[in-house]
Amino acid sequence: MKIAVPYADGCIFPHFGKTEQFKFYETENGRILSEEIVPTNGKGHGALAGFLADAQVELLLCGGIGAGAREALAAEKIRVLGGVTEKADDAVRAYLAGTLAYDPDAHCRHHDGGAGHVCETPAKDGSSCGNSGGCGSGHACHKT
């Protein structure tokens, strides 16, 4: 199975539609066989679903993701696990081990009403989107 994560500095980049690169993992029988970091070449939001489908990705592990992107990925038959805040490699290993913590309802509404970024996935400490947090902070979204 091919797994993708939006990637930056070893972490899962918190905003799917603005990621500049993905890390792809080729897996089999619960093991990582290969890893590759691939730039998106300026593709964003809706175009990323096609980008991932062309790369034959079956599963996306991500932090914040909007409803439109979820729909585009579903149309490409790419499964999405959102609200993931671990380091990228740790998240993939946890998924393969069956221990990944994720939020099936995680999403961001940063385009709603032009009011700026609205985070629907609070940090583990209960803080709001004002906490930009870092990798592993429990915060799946950030202000734009």
3 state DSSP class of 67 = helix
Evaluate whether residue 64 is within a structural domain.
yes
* Residues near 137 by beta carbon (within 8 Å), at least 6 away in sequence: 85, 123, 124, 131
Contact 40, 22 (CB under 8 A): yes
Is residue 134 one of the residues assigned to a domain?
no
Q: Are 5 and 22 in contact (CB under 8 A)?
A: yes
Let me know if residue 137 belongs to a domain.
no
The pTM (predicted TM-score) of the whole model is 0.77
Give the pLDDT confidence of 33-92 residue by residue, as tens digits.
999 999 998 766 568 999 999 999 999 999 988 888 999 999 999 999 999 988 999 999
Query: What CATH code is carried by the domain that includes residue 101?
Result: 3.30.420.130
pLDDT band at 117 (very low <50, low <70, confident <90, very high): very low
Q: Is there a domain that residue 82 lies in?
A: yes
Structure tokens at 84: 């993931």
144 located within any domain: no
The pLDDT value given to residue 139: 44
Q: Would residue 80 count as lying in a domain? A: yes
